[in-house]
Structure 1
Amino acid sequence: MKTYSLKFVQNIPISIDEAWDFFSSPLNLEKITPNDMKFEVTSDYTPQTKMYAGMIITYKVTPLFGIKLDWMTEITHVQDKKYFVDEQRFGPYALWHHQHHFKEIEGGVEMTDLLHYAIPYGVIGRLSNTLLVKKKVKQIFDYRVKAVENLFGKY
């Protein structure tokens, strides 16, 4: 199985407390995901709910071709105001391991996402990654950069 790795870094002009408060709330993910994905957290959480190791989050998402999918992730690791990791437990990927790192920098926070993923179906999966999936994942993170800038300003 071919595994792919992507890294995204964004500086945000807010405090580490503000960054952690926003990004550690599962419901805020909807605010930074492209509208065409029709992303919806289906877990019964409130805006005050913060991530913890072992937390299960369920979603509905429409990633490609208008096909609605169920997705479930588990928050496997959390270090307050430093990082958290989500891993797919059920969904479209053969592997999804997403690290979210936060570091205080002068004038704000550096947020780094490290993503490792794999597509099922062997050669067909590798071809679909080349033609569709990698571009879609990058598009989602590009959208997120703009959404975060709209919410918190540009660094």
Structure 2
Amino acid sequence: MSKIYKLHRVQLLHTSMDIAWRFFSNPGNLQQITPPFMKFKVTDTYGDTMYAGQLIEYRVRPLLGISLYWMTEITHVKDKAYFVDEQRFGPYSFWHHQHHFREVENGVEMTDLLHYKIPYYFLGDVANRFLVQKKVAQIFDYRAQKIKEMYG
């Protein structure tokens, strides 16, 4: 059986909760913090205001320029506290991404907690070790840098 992998990141945003929540809870803004090599494009959001049950469709080119369809569902939302997106169709056999926001003294602490699984059993584990894990980290490193540029 292949493993479930985890990525955990925490970042301080020097801004207000209102501004942070407005940006991160709008699916249309995800493209701004995704590395250009991914050629990431939101193709349908089924509404601009995030809500539980919202479906978001994307096109993405994570490897070798191959275009992939990806659909996530926003499964949980608590205004100005957290939201969760889960893959419904796409490259992973499991994708559960929590986004948490907490007001702190100098702004907003944003926490990403991602659990994912690669298909194809032990071959997926090998692919994760040598390719996917590094690519996921690279994507989140890029996001952190872009967010730092935007919010200090």
> Quick check: TM above 0.5?
yes
Supply the distance in 1 between the matched residues of 2:85 and 2:72 (Cα, whole angstroms): 6
TM-score by length of 1: 0.95
How far 1:134 sits from its partner (Å)?
A: 0.5
Supply the distance in 1 between the matched residues of 2:45 and 2:113 (Cα, whole angstroms): 27
Other structure's SS at 1:71 match: strand
Aligned to 2:11: 10
Unaligned runs of 5+ in 2: none
Paired residues in the alignment total: 151
Supply the distance in 1 between the matched residues of 2:95 and 2:101 (Cα, whole angstroms): 20
Whether 2:23 is the aligned partner of 1:22: answer yes
The 1:107–1:88 alpha-carbon spacing in structure 2 relative to 1, beyond 3 Å, is same
> In the TM superposition, what whole-angstrom CA distance separates every residue of 1:26-67 from its partner, at most 9, and x where no partner exists?
000000000010000000567xx1210000000000111111
* CA contact 2:4–2:115 (8 Å) conserved in 1: yes
> In the TM superposition, what whole-angstrom CA distance separates every residue of 1:100-144 from its partner, at most 9, and x where no partner exists?
000000110000000000000011100000000000000000000
Other structure's SS at 1:51 match: coil
Aligned to 1:68: 67
* CA contact 1:27–1:45 (8 Å) conserved in 2: no
- Residues 1-155 of structure 1 mapped to structure 2, 5 A cutoff: 1-43=2-44, 49-152=48-151, 154=152
Supply the distance in 2 between the matched residues of 1:113 and 1:101 (Cα, whole angstroms): 6
Aligned-residue sequence identity (percent) comes to: 61
How far 1:149 sits from its partner (Å)?
A: 1.4
Supply the distance in 2 between the matched residues of 1:32 and 1:103 (Cα, whole angstroms): 20
* CA contact 1:12–1:111 (8 Å) conserved in 2: yes
* CA contact 1:84–1:101 (8 Å) conserved in 2: yes
The residue type equivalent to 1:8 in the other structure is: R
* CA contact 2:11–2:109 (8 Å) conserved in 1: yes
* CA contact 1:71–1:88 (8 Å) conserved in 2: yes
Other structure's SS at 1:42 match: strand
The residue type equivalent to 2:34 in the other structure is: T
